[in-house]
A and B are shown apart, each in its own frame.
Chain A
Amino acid sequence: MVKSEAVQATADISTESADNDLLVEEAYEAMGSDRSGNGSAESKHPKWEKWIENFKRRGWILVFILPALIYVLIFCYGPMYGILTAFQDYMPGDEILGSNTLWVGWDNFNTFFSNPNFGSYFLNTFLLCIFGFIVGFPLPIIVALLLNSIRKPKIKKGLQILYYAPHFISLVVLVGMMKLIFGSDGLLDQLAIKLGGSENGLQLFLKPEAFRPLFIFSGNWQDFGWSAIIYLAALAGVDPALHEAAKVDGASRFRRIFSVDLPAILPTIVMLMILSVGNLMSCGYEKVLLMQTGGNLETSEILSTYVYTFGLMDGHYGVGTAAGLFNSVINVVLLIIANFTSKKLANQSMW
Chain B
Amino acid sequence: MNKKIIAGIMAVTMCAAAAFTVTGCGGGKGSGHEFTVLAVKEETVKDYNDMQVFKDIAKETGKDVYWTFNTSTQYSNNTDPVGIKGIDAIYHSGFSNLKLNDYGKRKRIVAIDEYLDSMPNFKKILEDRPDIREALKSPDGHIYSLPRVEEMGLKTYPNILFLNKKWVEKLIDNGNMPEGVNITKEQLVDGLDISRNEFKAILQKFKDNNMDDSIADNDEVPLAFVSDNWQGNESDFIASFGLPENRQHKTLVNGKITFTVEDEKWFNAIKEMNDWYNKGLIRTAAFDQDQDTFLAKGQDGRYGAFYWWEKNTVVSKDKRDDYIVVKPLKDDDGNRYVGPSNELEVEKSACVILGTCKDKAGLLSYFDKFFEPDYSAQINYGSISAGAFLPEKNADGMLVPNDDHGAQSADDFRMQNAAYGVVYLTEEVFEKNVVMESRAKLRKEILAEHVIPYTYPGAEPIPNLNYTESELKILSQYEATLGKNIKSYMTNAIIGASVPSKSDWQKMISNNRNSIDKIKKTNQDAYDRYVATIGKTN
| CB 8 Å contact bits of A117-139 with B (1 = contact, 0 = none) | 10000000000000000000000
Chain A to chain B: the 3 pairs with minimum beta-carbon distance, closest first: A92-B80, A297-B488, A184-B284
Mind listing 23 A-B residue pairs with CB under 8 Å? Answer: A92-B79, A115-B477, A116-B478, A116-B481, A116-B482, A117-B481, A117-B485, A184-B285, A198-B497, A199-B279, A200-B284, A206-B491, A206-B492, A208-B488, A294-B228, A295-B287, A295-B288, A297-B488, A301-B484, A310-B480, A315-B96, A315-B98, A316-B476
Q: Is A42 an interface residue (CB 8 A)?
A: no
| CB 8 Å contact bits of A284-318 with B (1 = contact, 0 = none) | 00000000011111100100000001101011110
Q: Is the CB of B492 within 8 A of A298?
A: yes
CB distance from B30 to the nearest CB of A (A): 21
Q: Which residues of the other chain, B, contact A199 by a CB distance below 8 angstroms?
A: 278-280
A92-131 residues at the B interface, CB under 8 angstroms: 92-94, 100, 111, 114-117
> Which one of B99, B106, B278 contacts A94 once the chains associate, using CB atoms below 8 Å?
B106
Residue of B nearest to A297 (CB): B488
Given contacts A116-B512, A200-B278, A295-B491, contact A206 B284 (CB under 8 A): yes
Q: Is the CB of B477 within 8 A of A111?
A: yes
Q: Is A226 an interface residue (CB 8 A)?
A: no
Given contacts A116-B512, A200-B280, A314-B480, contact A294 B288 (CB under 8 A): yes
Q: Is the CB of A312 within 8 A of B79?
A: yes
| CB 8 Å contact bits of A182-203 with B (1 = contact, 0 = none) | 0011000000010000111101
Q: Which residues of the other chain, B, contact A11 by a CB distance below 8 angstroms?
A: none
Q: Is the CB of A116 within 8 A of B511?
A: yes
B103, B277, B481 interface centre (most CB from chain A within 10 Å) = B481
Q: Which residues of the other chain, B, contact A312 by a CB distance below 8 angstroms?
A: 79
Residue of B nearest to A107 (CB): B473
Q: Is the CB of B514 within 8 A of A116?
A: yes
Q: Is A91 an interface residue (CB 8 A)?
A: yes
| CB 8 Å contact bits of B216-243 with A (1 = contact, 0 = none) | 0010000000011000000000000000
Known: A92-B83, A115-B477, A203-B495. 9 other contacts (CB 8 A): A116-B515, A199-B278, A199-B280, A200-B277, A200-B280, A203-B284, A206-B495, A295-B491, A315-B98
Q: Is the CB of A93 within 8 A of B288?
A: no
Residue of B nearest to A206 (CB): B495
Q: Is the CB of B80 within 8 A of A295?
A: no
Q: Is A205 an interface residue (CB 8 A)?
A: yes
Q: Which residues of the other chain, A, contact B218 by a CB distance below 8 angstroms?
A: 193
CB distance from B216 to the nearest CB of A (A): 12
Q: Which residues of the other chain, B, contact A301 by a CB distance below 8 angstroms?
A: 484
Q: Which residues of the other chain, A, contact B142 by a CB distance below 8 angstroms?
A: none
Q: Is the CB of B511 within 8 A of A297?
A: no
Once the chains are docked, how many angstroms separate the CA of A298 from the CA of B80? 31
Q: Is B82 an interface residue (CB 8 A)?
A: yes
Once the chains are docked, how many angstroms separate the CA of A201 from the CA of B285? 12
Q: Which residues of the other chain, A, contact B487 by a CB distance below 8 angstroms?
A: 294, 297
Name the interface size band of chain B.
35 or more
Q: Which residues of the other chain, A, contact B497 by a CB distance below 8 angstroms?
A: 198
Q: Which residues of the other chain, B, contact A207 by a CB distance below 8 angstroms?
A: 492
| CB 8 Å contact bits of B90-129 with A (1 = contact, 0 = none) | 0000001011001100101000000000000000000000
Residue of A nearest to B95 (CB): A315
Q: Which residues of the other chain, B, contact A193 by a CB distance below 8 angstroms?
A: 218
Residue of B nearest to A316 (CB): B476
Q: Which residues of the other chain, A, contact B492 by a CB distance below 8 angstroms?
A: 206-208, 295, 298
Q: Is the CB of A93 within 8 A of B495?
A: no
Q: Which residues of the other chain, A, contact B265 by a CB distance below 8 angstroms?
A: none
Q: How many residues of A contact B (CB 8 A)?
A: 37
Once the chains are docked, how many angstroms separate the CA of A100 from the CA of B107? 11
Residue of B nearest to A319 (CB): B477
Once the chains are docked, how many angstroms separate the CA of A207 from the CA of B495? 9
| CB 8 Å contact bits of B278-299 with A (1 = contact, 0 = none) | 1110011101100000000000
Q: Which residues of the other chain, A, contact B485 by a CB distance below 8 angstroms?
A: 116-117, 297
| CB 8 Å contact bits of B75-92 with A (1 = contact, 0 = none) | 000011011000000000
B279-332 residues at the A interface, CB under 8 angstroms: 279-280, 283-285, 287-288
| CB 8 Å contact bits of A71-91 with B (1 = contact, 0 = none) | 000000000000000000101
> Which one of A92, A297, A315, A317 contacts B484 once the chains associate, using CB atoms below 8 Å?
A297
Residue of B nearest to A118 (CB): B481
Q: Which residues of the other chain, B, contact A294 by a CB distance below 8 angstroms?
A: 227-228, 287-288, 487-488, 491
Residue of B nearest to A90 (CB): B102
Q: Is the CB of A295 within 8 A of B476?
A: no
B102, B227, B277, B512 interface centre (most CB from chain A within 10 Å) = B102
Once the chains are docked, how many angstroms separate the CA of A150 from the CA of B44? 60
CB distance from B525 to the nearest CB of A (A): 19
Q: Is the CB of A115 within 8 A of B481?
A: yes
> Which one of A205, A316, A317 contacts B288 once the chains associate, using CB atoms below 8 Å?
A205
CB distance from B70 to the nearest CB of A (A): 16
B183-229 residues at the A interface, CB under 8 angstroms: 218, 227-228
Q: Which residues of the other chain, A, contact B103 by a CB distance below 8 angstroms?
A: 91
> Which one of A91, A100, A295 contacts B488 once the chains associate, using CB atoms below 8 Å?
A295
Once the chains are docked, how many angstroms separate the CA of A317 from the CA of B83? 16
Once the chains are docked, how many angstroms separate the CA of A314 from the CA of B79? 10
Once the chains are docked, how many angstroms separate the CA of A111 from the CA of B485? 18
Once the chains are docked, how many angstroms separate the CA of A205 from the CA of B492? 11
Q: Which residues of the other chain, A, contact B278 by a CB distance below 8 angstroms?
A: 199-200
CB distance from B507 to the nearest CB of A (A): 12
CB distance from B469 to the nearest CB of A (A): 10
Once the chains are docked, how many angstroms separate the CA of A301 from the CA of B491? 15
Residue of A nearest to B487 (CB): A294
Q: Which residues of the other chain, B, contact A94 by a CB distance below 8 angstroms?
A: 106
CB distance from B230 to the nearest CB of A (A): 15
CB distance from A97 to the nearest CB of B (A): 16
Q: Which residues of the other chain, A, contact B512 by a CB distance below 8 angstroms?
A: 116
Q: Which residues of the other chain, B, contact A117 by a CB distance below 8 angstroms?
A: 481, 484-485
Residue of A nearest to B489 (CB): A298
Residue of A nearest to B283 (CB): A200
A264-292 residues at the B interface, CB under 8 angstroms: none
B450-505 residues at the A interface, CB under 8 angstroms: 473, 476-478, 480-482, 484-485, 487-488, 491-492, 495, 497
Residue of B nearest to A193 (CB): B218
CB distance from A34 to the nearest CB of B (A): 33
| CB 8 Å contact bits of A204-217 with B (1 = contact, 0 = none) | 01111000000000
Q: Which residues of the other chain, B, contact A115 by a CB distance below 8 angstroms?
A: 477, 481
Once the chains are docked, how many angstroms separate the CA of A309 from the CA of B482? 14
A193, A203, A293, A294 interface centre (most CB from chain B within 10 Å) = A294
A168-187 residues at the B interface, CB under 8 angstroms: 184-185
Q: Which residues of the other chain, B, contact A298 by a CB distance below 8 angstroms?
A: 488, 492
Q: Which residues of the other chain, A, contact B482 by a CB distance below 8 angstroms?
A: 116
> Which one of B102, B476, B481, B495 contacts A200 once the chains associate, using CB atoms below 8 Å?
B495
Residue of B nearest to A306 (CB): B481
Residue of A nearest to B279 (CB): A199
Given contacts A206-B287, A206-B288, contact A93 B514 (CB under 8 A): no
B277, B477, B478 interface centre (most CB from chain A within 10 Å) = B477
Once the chains are docked, how many angstroms separate the CA of A294 from the CA of B515? 19
CB distance from A212 to the nearest CB of B (A): 15
Residue of A nearest to B485 (CB): A117
Residue of A nearest to B98 (CB): A315
CB distance from A164 to the nearest CB of B (A): 33
Q: Which residues of the other chain, B, contact A310 by a CB distance below 8 angstroms?
A: 480
Once the chains are docked, how many angstroms separate the CA of A114 from the CA of B278? 38
Q: Which residues of the other chain, B, contact A203 by a CB distance below 8 angstroms?
A: 284, 495
Residue of A nearest to B277 (CB): A200
Q: Which residues of the other chain, A, contact B514 by a CB distance below 8 angstroms?
A: 116
